[in-house]
Amino acid sequence: MGEGKPSVALITGAAQGIGKEVARRFAQEGFFVALLDQNVQNLHAVEESLKSEHYQAKAFSVDITKSKDVEEIIDDIEKNIGPIECLANVAGVLRMGKTVELSDEDWAATFAVNTTGVFVMSRTVSRYMINRRRGSIVTVSSNAGHMPRIDMAAYASSKAAATMFTKCLGLELAQFGIRCNVVAPGSTNTDMLKLLWEDEKGEENLIKGSLDTYKTGIPLHKIATPSDIAEAVLFLSSDKAGHITMNSLCVDGGATLGV
């Protein structure tokens, strides 16, 4: 580590929702947060908000599926800001629809961000972590990654792939002291979730569940907040989880019944 350089936490999908809250929590823990997203307006708003509270933050607009662009930004961060100690892969997209109706573009776009983006980011950052023989990578997946969902074949499949990739990476990097884990949220109060609500009873219906779609309700009788997920990411990234790797922590209020 360079003299006087801060420890960096890099968060993808930092412009909104879970990613925004993950960034805030890392900042509160004293990290310099590198904020990555394609939503430039929201991304810079998050940066300015954090700076106004005297936290260290910098926004980087990037398509995380583009290896060359990602490599340039990671190199810039490592050289000019500080060592990336923690990577949180939070960026995600959702394309709904029955499998027979999904377009090639729907499928490709879903996997590009949810799976390829995780691969590109993790591969690039881990090269630097290996040299230092330390670091933590956490991928925010989904409980849909291990539970079939109607109308969510592309999303669930991409999250399942990201989950297994992260575990395989954790096995490869364990010898270097680098830990790789997964947080698998259930229904969380974000704009993405609200797109699925058909009416003002959307939250109530999620909590109750639906026999027609083979989906259980939420035993804790509430949906998660972005903070619930961020705390799990922070824990797995911290020294408190120093002997945890290749693990998946489901944060869904019991919606998948611990399966």
* 155 a catalytic residue: yes
Which residues are CB-neighbours of 85 under 8 A, at least 6 positions away? 7, 8, 9, 31, 134, 135, 136
Catalytic residue among 55, 128, 155, 214: 155
Q: Could you report the per-residue pLDDT of 236-257, keeping only the tens digit for each? A: 999 999 999 999 999 999 999 9
pLDDT in tens, 123-176: 999 999 999 999 999 999 999 999 999 999 999 999 999 999 999 999 999 999
H/E element, 130: helix 117-132
Report d(CA 31, CA 228) in Å as an integer: 19
Sign of the CA dihedral running 233, 237, 240, 243: positive
Q: Has domain 8-192+225-251 been given CATH number 3.40.50.720? A: yes
Report pTM.
0.95
State in Å, rounded, how far the first CA of the chain is from the last one: 41
